[in-house]
């Protein structure tokens, strides 16, 4: 099996795991990953994470030309914005996960620091998450908004829509977006309960100790 074949299988396996555990539903969500030659494999438009076919993933070359497979997700501008602004990005995942979306609806959420510091793991895997405003699904303006961050955030939350995370590879991106959803779930569960957050000193210690990319 070639390295690209293994990557195709891994994308579909991870996507199905996310779907089977309810982290996205129906034909929502999209996923992409860098190929060994610098191209991209992308989930097709209208496809379900629970039923992706490795042979039908959209294949792009390093210049962004569609070579084979089904037509890609309409959220391609979102994916390419991360790859173009974050040289270390090897994969991008976008979900419609329930608790992250619910938390984005709350009126007092910090746009520059979407997730409250409830556990160290969201800090470690995501850094600070930017809450972006609502855009129509597929609107190229979403990509423009990500480009406006100049590569300083690995994760954003699209208001009333869903999270998007870039990682060094597809496993890292999936792990990080799961952490985002888990932290958002804790935020929703503890909303109005005055939970004990990590303080600024504790967050700073985590950032320093684990060498977290942290945009102030």
Sign of CA dihedral 185, 126, 215, 105: negative
75 a catalytic residue: yes
pLDDT band at 105 (very low <50, low <70, confident <90, very high): very high
* Mean pLDDT for all residues in the chain: 97
Alpha helices in the chain (DSSP H): 3-20, 76-85, 98-104, 120-126, 141-147, 170-190, 200-209
Q: Verify whether residue 83 is a known catalytic residue.
A: no
Q: What is the pLDDT of residue 214?
A: 87
pLDDT tens digit sequence for 167-191 = 999 999 999 999 999 999 999 999 9
* Residues 137-150 pLDDT 10s: 999 999 999 999 99
Q: Rounded to an integer, what distance in angstroms lies between the CA atom of residue 105 and that of residue 161?
A: 10
How distant is the alpha carbon of residue 84 from its chain centre?
15
Q: Which of 4, 121, 213, 215 is catalytic?
A: 121
Structural domains of the chain, ranges and CATH numbers in brackets: 3-209 (3.40.225.10)
Measure the N-to-C terminal CA separation of the chain; round to a whole number of Å.
44
Q: Which residue among the candidates 75, 178, 179, 181 is catalytic per the annotation?
A: 75
Q: What is the DSSP letter of 216?
A: -
- pLDDT tens by residue, 20-42: 999 999 999 999 999 999 999 99
Report yes or no on whether pTM surpasses 0.75.
Answer: yes
Mean pLDDT of the 97-104 span: 98
């Amino acid at each position: 099996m070639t390295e690209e074949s293994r990557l195709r299988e891994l994308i579909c396996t991870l996507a199905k795991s996310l779907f089977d555990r309810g982290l996205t539903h129906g034909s929502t969500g999209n996923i992409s990953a860098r190929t060994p030659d610098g191209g991209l494999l992308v989930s097709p438009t209208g496809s379900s994470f629970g039923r992706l076919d490795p042979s039908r993933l959209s294949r792009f070359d390093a210049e962004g030309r569609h070579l084979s497979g089904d037509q890609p997700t309409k959220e391609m501008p979102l994916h390419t914005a991360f790859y173009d602004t974050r040289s270390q990005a090897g994969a991008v995942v976008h979900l419609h996960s329930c608790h992250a979306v619910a938390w984005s609806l709350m009126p007092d959420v910090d746009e520059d620091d979407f997730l409250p510091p409830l556990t160290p793991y969201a800090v470690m895997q995501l850094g600070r998450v930017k809450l972006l405003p609502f855009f129509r699904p597929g609107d190229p303006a979403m990509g423009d908004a990500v480009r406006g961050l100049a590569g300083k955030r690995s994760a954003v939350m699209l208001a009333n829509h869903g999270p998007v995370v870039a990682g060094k590879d597809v496993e890292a991106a999936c792990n990080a977006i799961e952490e985002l959803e888990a932290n958002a779930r804790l935020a929703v569960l503890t909303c109005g309960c005055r939970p004990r957050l990590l303080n600024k000193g504790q967050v700073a210690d985590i950032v320093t100790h684990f060498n977290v990319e942290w945009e102030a």
